[in-house]
Structure 1
Amino acid sequence: MRGRLPSSVRFGGAVGADLHHDVRPSRSSTFSAVPGFVILARGFAVDVARSSGWNDDFALGLLVSELATNSIQAKASLFTVTVFEPYEDQSGRYLMFEVADDCPTVPAPKQRMPEVVEGQVPSENGRGLPLVDALSESWHAEKREHGKTICVTLKEEHQAAARSRTLSIRPTPSVA
């Protein structure tokens, strides 16, 4: 199923081919697009998901942080995080969330992790969407009337496997 929404689910503006039920937003909150609010957005999403019975918040917290940071770097003035009610179908248990902002630039769907070259300071940018791709069951970007929305689906069992993957990110020495 990777790369698309389950066919029985309506999520944000995307509709699967065979609509059997709606996935309803649990809660939504809007934040100022400044660095100090990233941790608040992450905490909000994790708290809402836990209160809805979602137990595995590793990928959720990381991806909300990445997407909120992307909103800030895109010069958005505000960003909104919406967490949907978890649901189950024959293929597993899912949690969906959106991060929307007022920046109209929609990111490319497939991006590669930036290369790390021995002896060079790696770029601080370019890891967010490859992380979204690696840790989510599916994701997509939608252009909206007043900006864009990144819609992400997490699969509960997928998250546990994602933690054991080795991503191409290595700690780098500080440059003073």
Structure 2
Amino acid sequence: MNHVIAPRAESEEPVHRADFAMGEHSARHLRRILRLYLNGWGLAAVADAAELALTELIANVVRHVPGRRCQTFIFRLPDGDGVRVEVADGCPTVPRVAEGDVLDEGGRGLVLVDAVADKWGVEVRRDGGGKTVWFECLAAAPGAGAGSVTPTVRPAPRP
């Protein structure tokens, strides 16, 4: 069953949660939801980067998670200057950067996430029953650029 929890109208809680079985067009719908929240929070400046990173994480779910079920979480950071997006699933396999030829069709998703997000990482559930892949995009981080913070899991450099 698909399920969405959005903040109540009277609540200032800056979070959106959705639990879906992902399909071919799911990333498009989640990008729209993300952009609506970012615009509402005054964070339109990070929308393009956040949408690209979200698309890559959802593509990984569609390609690699049995049953394609995941939960997405969208949080406004406590200082209000950025967004954190989490994609959690029940698959214990930790995503990794696929090393291959430059003409390969896949394997660049986490490289893109690293390029556009200010922080990202993977948190494995303690019981081994899944993981959460997350990223943060900051609206204005003085001296910080995309990928400036060491993520929990960092892709290996490519030759």
Same fold (TM > 0.5): yes
Q: Tell me if 1:99 matches 2:82.
A: no
**Mean Cα deviation higher: 68-77 or 126-135:** 68-77
Structure 2 contact 65–89 (Cα < 8 Å) conserved: no
Report the alpha carbon displacement of residue 151 of structure 1 after superposing the two structures with TM: 1.5
Gaps of 5+ in 1: 1-23, 117-121, 163-176
- Preserved CA contact (<8 Å) 2:35 2:44: no
| Aligned position for 1:125 | 106
1:65 equivalent in structure 2: 55
Instruction: State which of 9, 33, 36 in structure 2 corresponds to 1:44.
Output: 33
The AA in structure 1 aligned to 2:73 is T
Equivalence for 2:8: none
Match of 2:39, SS state, is: helix
Highest Rg: 1 or 2? Answer: 1
1:54 CA displacement: 1.4
Mapped to 1, the partners of 2:70 and 2:82 lie a distance apart of 23
Deviation of 1:26 (Å):
1.0
* Most deviating of 77-86 and 66-75: 77-86
TM-score by length of 2: 0.69
Q: Are residues 1:149 and 2:132 paired?
A: yes
Matched length: 127
Give the drift of 1:129.
0.2
Q: CA deviation at 1:45?
A: 1.9
Q: State which of 69, 76, 97 in structure 2 corresponds to 1:85.
A: 76
Deviations 1:125-169 (A, max 9, x none): 1110001111111111011244211111112247xx76xxxxxxx
C-alpha RMSD over aligned residues: 2.4
Q: Does the CA contact (< 8 Å) of 1:71 and 1:103 recur in 2?
A: no
Identity %: 28
Are 1:137 and 2:118 counterparts? yes
Q: TM-score, normalised by structure 1?
A: 0.63
Give the 4+ runs in structure 1 shifted more than 3 A.
86-89, 111-115
CA contact (8 A) 1:114 1:123 kept: yes
Contact 1:113/1:130, CA 8 A, preserved across alignment: no
Q: Structure 1 CA distance, aligned partners of 2:30 and 2:99?
A: 24
Report if the CA contact (8 A) 2:119-2:136 is conserved. Answer: yes
